[in-house]
Amino acid sequence: MPDFATIIIFFPLIGAVLVATLPKEQEQQAKYVAAVTAAVVFAIAAFMFVLYDRDDSGYQYIDSIVWLDSAFSDFKLHYAVGVDGLSLPLVVLNAFLTLVAVLISFKVEMRPKEYFAWLLVLETSLMGVFCALDFVLFFLFWEVELIPMYFLISIWGSGNRVYSAWKYVLYTFFGSAFMIVGILTLGFTAGTFDIRELGNIDAIHGAIIPAWMIFTLIIIAFLIKLPVVPFHTWLPDAHTDAPTAVSVILAGVLLKMGGYGVLRLAFNIMPDVAYDARDYLAALAAVSIIYGALMTLIQKDLKRLIAYSSVSHMGYVLLGAASVGVVGFTGAATQLITHGLITGMLFVIVGMVYDRAHTRNIGELSGLAHRMPFITVMMLVAGLASLGLPALAGFVAEITIFLGSFESQKVATVVAITGVAFAAGYILWTIQRVFWGPPDPKWAELTDADAWWERGPLLALTVAIVSIGVYPAWVVDLLRDGVTPIAGRFAG
Amino acid sequence: MTDIYRASPELALLIAAGLIVVVDALLPLLGREAWSRRRVIAAGLALLGVVASFALSGILIADKERGTAFDAMIALDDFTLFFNFLFAGIAGMIVLGSIDFLQRNRFQAEYLALVLTAAAGMMLMAASQDLIMIFVALETQALAFYVLIGFLKDSRSSEAALKYLLLGAVSTALTLYGMAYLFGISGETSLEGIAQFVSRADSDSRSALVLAAAFLGAGLAFKMAVVPFQMWVPDVYEGAPTPVTAYLSVASKAAGFAVVMRIFLVALGEGLITSDWANMFAAVAAVSMTLGNVMALVQTDIKRMLGYSSIAQAGTFLIGLAAVAAKDPQLELGSASVVFFLGTYAFTNLGAFIAIIAISSKIHSDKIADYAGVYKRSPYLALGLAACLISLTGIPPTAGFIAKVYVFNAAVSADMVWLATIGVINSVISVYYYLRVVMNMFTQDPESDVSFQPSMYLGAAMTIAVVGLLAVGVYPNPLISASEHAARVFA
């Protein structure tokens, strides 16, 4: 009997096959099949979260079989999956946001079978990335994710969708091309691709290329995904042109693959090199935070605005990682979760505004609060969480990161903290322009979010954001247990 | 009798080829009805031959029959058996893929007989372990291809055949020259005999050996379609009938690699020039990948694009060959990766070509731009072609992904990180032109909304290919193990 990790990876795929094979006449049922699948996956994820043995901080729900066995060398690949404190919350996040994405897509009428099938395939690939315990298997899922994203952006997107889909695929593929060389070199040197074993090797000695080169080959893919300036230019385009639900997954889960990779793979496997690289990474993080914040201030398109704010916020993740300590790592991991929830929620809201007003141009929108009070309240929650208001989730992550990084990265931390001031600026200014202000007669016809599949996801996201903000321990403790072994690698 | 038994998979194909021609000649005597069904009868006989060849290879395995035949001219070992299956499988797919196209041609029987003859020739190429036998097998296969390429007898097909013939003659001459050198210095024609000479050779014969290796490499580079003997590829691929193009691009290439592996790994495998030819192949690999990919980027015709892409793919296989000798001759990972890659590439490229045959016959164009919106007209074909192109790019969960990881792993194991890096950069380039076709099919609007279906034969062939490439992508172990058994022959 396969364990939970295997089930949660492949259950969405089964749902995808069911959706794709629906008869043509019943293609409007696709959304219900997808919703049921996503709900079951979320239930499984919740089970995993509850049943996870918190006294044993190691990997759990493990399945491991030999998948590719070469008789000639150490080239042995395993199908090995499992979760620990770091990956389990990400698995839950993925299950939650995919359910949200499916629900808010209920009005998609163009080729619905394929649309929902690709969403579920995407969920499978992301589950695989977070659960994989074999580096090549991780890479496999990392690459599989390209196909659904490519189709989702290029077929159901808007604007310059084909160009954006291309840009997304080429950037990612460029990064992963180097990553596979790094993985193979690492695996060849260490004699294993098992992430658990790689995380116990003292140092990479006797590699055919220097260790820092392997580290660079691997981390580039993660920095592109995160994204860090100057590798970020794919993100605003992909976000702007992707359909709303895909933006939610993209900001909420896909970017987290980068942060997860930095901690779990680059830092965990090669701590000595990561330690030497920490100042460069902190500098990159500070640049991303400030550059992203400044770019956010001048955006006119709501989706682009949130996309650039993501660049800024994901910079905090790298800053937390560059602090090379358990507090900073915990903060970085928490930021992965909280940013996923908050930005996911922001994209849901922007999508709802766009569906009604058919514009995302901040200059054209005004006084929406009069027409859509519910959406406005939700926007306030998400916005205040995004700028780091205490008692909401964003604050927890950012304060932890700053506490962790101030000791070891003083300059970068001070620079990064000014980013918080910018965040307050762009969030409040945006809410002010779009939602407050005099009601524009042009928007007199707009309706509030009334359908259950619109209100439900927003309320659920609010609950998650507030509960982490008020009582962070239920998530943060788990994440801390997850990153403690990684931090332990830097202690010596 | 043992000789015939050991060569039976090849002979089955040759007998079927003969039968097809004879039966076709006798059919008019059986009346109108039989004559009107000659296409199905000929194709049925051809498939029967393929199945018989498959079955005989299977019996040979079950029987654990190994050894040599015809005075050690050919060897029956795991390597031969792997290629017996591969070529019989390819020939079967080509027969399925040709049935529609033969409808408008009256030389159906001859065409199918030539397809089988070429397959038998290629099996012999993989099995031969004597220079003379290698040459005979090479020519058997080449003669069949000369006719097949010019089969349409229109100006482009004839031009393609002439080009292939002329360049083929030059390459034959180069190969012969290399063989003559080897024979001249060693006094042996059998690969084993040459190997014994080479392992004892002192530095006096070094330059002669290097020259022989260079000539052999150059002559066979034509068959493998790698730089600098790739010039014929785009024109011939474009002009030849599409099923023949498919055949050339997978089978002829695989046979070229099989011969190269026999000659270089057996005859020149150990001794003083191993690192010389390894470097030669490494350089050819790097240049072929880069040139093939860069040229493929600018193509507008899908057959020409696949032609250039096949040059790039062949360059990727050569990485494995270069990795064999770069470190020490014990490292069979490289040769196993080449064999594995050839097997997966056969599925993948055949699937792509069969989808193209089906699509192009309906939209009456080979232009990539005209593939716009194919998904709306024929979702099944569009998905099949997309799966094959994604596998060619090397994106999981397909066979192409495993093949690339496996071959790059061989390069890394042989301390050739630079070559693996050039390989992955080329993968990035290839994303653009492979996925451009996918993008055209899925995101553009078609000019006409008339939907279409592939014929039963084409649909079956494409389904086999797509299921195969996904199966190997998800569970690669059986094919990996078969490739490694085949490669162990060179241990």
| B491 interface with A at CB cutoff 8 Å | no
All residues of chain A having their beta carbon less than 8 Å from the beta carbon of residue B404 are 180
Q: Is the pLDDT of residue B390 over 60?
A: yes
Predicted confidence (pLDDT) at residue A491 exceeds the cutoff of 90 = no
A174 at the B interface (CB within 8 A)? yes
A20 shares contact with chain B (CB less than 8 Å): no
Q: How far apart are CA A387 and CA A423, in angstroms?
A: 5
Number of Cβ within a 10 Å radius of residue A111: 18
A472 three-class SS:
coil
B297 CB neighbour count, 10 Å cutoff: 14
Count CA atoms closer than 13 A to B330's CA, side-chain side. Answer: 3
Residue B65 pLDDT class (50, 70, 90 cuts) = confident
pLDDT digits (tens, 9 = 90+) for A241-290: 999 999 999 999 999 999 999 999 999 999 999 999 999 999 999 999 99
Average pLDDT of the residues in A1-5: 87
Would the CB atoms of B390 and A73 count as touching at under 8 Å? no
Query: DSSP 3-state assignment of B68?
Result: strand
CA–CA separation, B393 vs B94, rounded Å? Answer: 23
Least confident of A202-216, A291-305, A312-326, A329-343: A202-216
Does the beta-carbon distance from A184 to B336 stay under 8 Å? no
- Cβ of B435 within 8 Å of Cβ of A75? The answer is no
Indicate whether B104 pLDDT > 80.
Answer: no
- Per the listing, tokens 């395993």 go with A78
Report the Cα–Cα distance between both ends of chain B, in Å, rounded: 29
The confidence score (pLDDT) of residue A427 equals 93
Band of pLDDT at residue A109, cut at 50, 70 and 90: confident
Quote the Cα angle for B331-B336-B337, to 5°: 105
Separation CA A490–CA B280 (nearest Å) = 45
Q: Which residues, 6+ apart, have CB-to-CB distance to B22 below 8 Å?
A: none
Residue type, B91: A
- Give CA–CA dist A126/A95, Å, rounded: 10
Q: Is the pLDDT of residue B399 over 90?
A: yes
CA distances from A270 to A193, A204, A216, A434 (A): 14, 7, 11, 47
Residue B426 to residue B409: CA distance in whole angstroms: 16
Can you state the angle between helices B417-443 and A146-156, rounded to 10 degrees?
30
Residue A101 structure tokens: 């994405």
Helix (H, G, I), strand (E, B) or coil at B150: coil
In this prediction the ipTM stands at 0.89
Mean pLDDT value across residues A70-76: 75
Mean pLDDT, all residues of chain B? 91
> Tell me: the pLDDT tens digits for B79-102?
999 999 999 999 999 999 999 888
What is d(CA B371, CA B357) in angstroms, rounded to the nearest whole number?
A: 12
- Nearest of B450, B437, B300 to residue B355 by alpha carbon: B437
Residue B197 above 60 pLDDT? Answer: yes
Are the C-beta atoms of B470 and B387 separated by less than 8 Å?
Answer: yes
Peptide bond into A227 cis (omega under 30): yes
A11 at the B interface (CB within 8 A)?
Answer: no
In which element (H, E) is residue B378 found?
Answer: none
What's the pLDDT band for B330 if we cut at 50, 70, 90?
A: low
Question: Is the model's pLDDT at B449 over the cut of 90?
Answer: no
Tally Cβ neighbours within 10 Å of residue A260.
24
pTM, two decimals, is 0.93
- How many Å lie between the alpha carbon of A373 and the closest alpha carbon of chain B? 38
- Number of Cβ within 10 Å of residue A492's Cβ equals 7
**Contact (Cβ atoms closer than 8 angstroms) between residue B386 and residue B441:** yes
Contact A150 B435 (CB under 8 A): yes
Spatial neighbors of A289 by CB under 8 A, at least 6 apart, are A312, A315, A316, A319, A415, A416, A419
Tokens standing for A247? 């933006």
Tokens 């790994």 sit on residue: B265
pLDDT at A219 over 90: yes
At residue B303, the pLDDT reads 92
Q: For residues A332 and A262, what is the distance between their CA atoms, to the nearest angstrom?
A: 10
Instruction: Report the alpha-carbon distance of residue A453 to residue A382 in Å, rounded.
Output: 18
For the ranges A42-46, A203-207, B140-144, B354-358, which has the lowest average pLDDT? A203-207
Domain locations in chain A as residue ranges? 4-488
A22 in reach of chain B (CB within 8 A): no
Q: Looking at residues A201-218, what average pLDDT do you find?
A: 83
Cα–Cα distance between A48 and A90 in angstroms, integer?
A: 12
Give the DSSP H or E segment for A354: helix A326-357
Q: Scan for tokens 């910079």, then name that residue.
A: A315
Tell me if the bond preceding B228 is cis, omega within 30° of 0.
yes
Least CB-CB distance to B408: which of A69, A147, A181? Answer: A181
Give CA–CA dist B250/A103, Å, rounded: 47
Among residues A401, A391, A403, A387, which one has the least CA distance to residue A468? A391
On the question of pLDDT at A350 being above 50, the answer is: yes
Q: In sequence order, what DSSP letters do the residues of A245-276 get, joined into one string? A: HHHHHIIIIIHHHHHHHIIIIIIHH-HHHHHH
Q: Give dist(CA B277, CA B182) in Å, integer.
A: 15
Query: Of B369, B382, B376, B384, nearest to B445 (Cα)?
Result: B376
Q: Check pLDDT > 70 for residue B328.
A: no
- How is residue A400 written in tokens? 């932890």
Q: Which of A456, A295, A473 is nearest to A400 (CA)?
A: A473
Instruction: Please name which of B102, B141, B333 lies closest in space to residue B251, comparing C-alpha atoms.
Output: B141
Q: Is the pLDDT of residue A138 over 60?
A: yes
What would the pLDDT profile of A354-364 be if each residue is shown by its tens digit?
989 899 999 88
What sign has the CA pseudo-torsion A457, A460, A466, A469?
Answer: negative
Q: Are B148 and B119 in contact (CB under 8 A)?
A: no
Instruction: Note the helical H segments in B327-370.
Output: 333-363
pLDDT value of position A200: 83
Q: Which of B297, B424, B432 to mutate to test the interface with A (most CBs of A within 10 A)?
A: B424
Taking CA atoms, what residue in B is nearest to A158? B443
User: What's the pLDDT band for B29 if we cut at 50, 70, 90?
Assistant: confident
Chain A positions in Cβ-Cβ contact with residue B336 (cut-off 8 Å): 70, 72
pLDDT of residue B329: 47
Is the CB of B383 inside 8 Å of chain A's CB atoms? no
Q: What is the pLDDT of residues A353-399, one digit of tens each?
A: 998 989 999 988 888 888 899 999 999 999 999 999 999 999 999 99
Please give the Cα distance from B171 to B191 (Å, whole number): 20
Which of B424, B432, B443 is opposite residue A181, by nearest beta carbon? Answer: B424
- B277-323 pLDDT, tens digit each: 888 899 999 999 999 999 999 999 999 999 999 999 999 999 998 88
Token reading at B257: 């690699």
Cβ atoms < 10 Å from Cβ of B443: 20
How many contacts (CB atoms, under 8 Å) link A and B? 98
**What pLDDT, in 10s, does the model give residues B128-143?**
999 999 999 999 999 9
